[in-house]
Amino acid sequence: MAEIDFVIAWVDGSDPDWQRRKAACLGERLSDDREHRYRDWDLLRYWFRGVEAFSPWVRKVWFVCDQEPPRWLNAAHPRLRIARHEDFIPEAYRPAFSANPIELNMHRLPGLAERFVFFNDDMFLLKPAAEGDFFKNGLPVDAALLNPVPTTDLRGRGREAIVFTIPLNDVEVLNRDYDFRACVKAHPLKWLNLRYGKSLLRNLALMTWPRFVGFDEPHLPQPFLKASFEAAWQQDFDVLDATSRRAIRNDRDVNQWLIRQRQLAEGRFMPRSPKVGRVFDLDVDAAGAAEAIRGQSAKMICVNDGALEPERFEAARRQLQAAFEAILPKPCGFER
């Protein structure tokens, strides 16, 4: 099996110095600077404990940040690489307070493995995960599930609508680059695969359209080929460069979903079941997320922050911390 790295991007939005630097960049049209985009739930140590306990085979862990890492993090760990933005993001794209320029330039991390898995800091491993859960035959393991981008979610949302315009931008670029029907014809069994279960019916229905309509985005740890980023920067330099130059998330951006979608369009993946993990919106079901963690009901989970007021946020944070402590109570080698 080829070497595989993990990449995690982290930010502590409560850091006064980081807040000061971000405030200097505000004011762009339709910029998204809502607090819960940057809020720290103090769960990071459980991410590292999960990696050590459930994926000991990982070659390196790349910890991407633009501030001092947590004091408890063991920077001397032989498999840990702490990467500040200046270590890999070109000067023209800094400072970056949006996830999009950070993630679109991940392939520039010096020494990054050709095959890597990207984690947001709200994505965790809950059970043993093998290399084959992320890569098979040298290709990312993924599910090419068509799903129209819901434009109705744009109505009356203000800055929050940005999260829904970005997928529209991704699909627009994808259709500029690829012929949908030619992609399906080139790899029919990757689009019509029994591993997709009932979702296969939706693929069949949406294949009547002549263009890509959008994809189901699982919001879970995502396997990538570094070569996919390099090819995208060659073909789509205009949009990737423009996005990378915007320090705050913007309605004109694309994101790393475009790279994933290009992998799907090119057939550079191996089909898997979509039931690989669970996703919880914490403003809707924090208790359910805590229960899923305690019960280790999936190999991986995403606990997605929402617009929780301070009292509910603190209660939800305590719930999640107690749940992780129940399954991963012992400090790991990544901790001092």
pLDDT at 265 over 50: yes
29-38, 166-175, 199-208, 277-286, range with the lowest pLDDT? 29-38
> Which residues lie below 8 Å from residue 45, measured CB to CB, with a gap of 6+?
70, 72, 331, 335
Residue ranges per structural domain of the chain: 4-273
C-alpha to C-alpha distance for 336 and 332, rounded to whole angstroms: 8
Identify whether the C-beta of residue 150 lies closer than 8 Å to the C-beta of residue 167.
no
Average pLDDT over the chain, rounded to an integer:
92
- What is the average pLDDT across 269-273? 97
pLDDT in tens, 122-134: 999 999 999 999 9
Residue with tokens 């229905």: 205
What's residue 23's pLDDT? 84
Report percent pLDDT > 90 for the chain.
Answer: 79
pLDDT at 32 over 50: no
C-alpha to C-alpha distance for 6 and 29, rounded to whole angstroms: 34
pLDDT at 81 over 90: yes
C-alpha to C-alpha distance for 115 and 2, rounded to whole angstroms: 8
pLDDT at 35 over 60: no
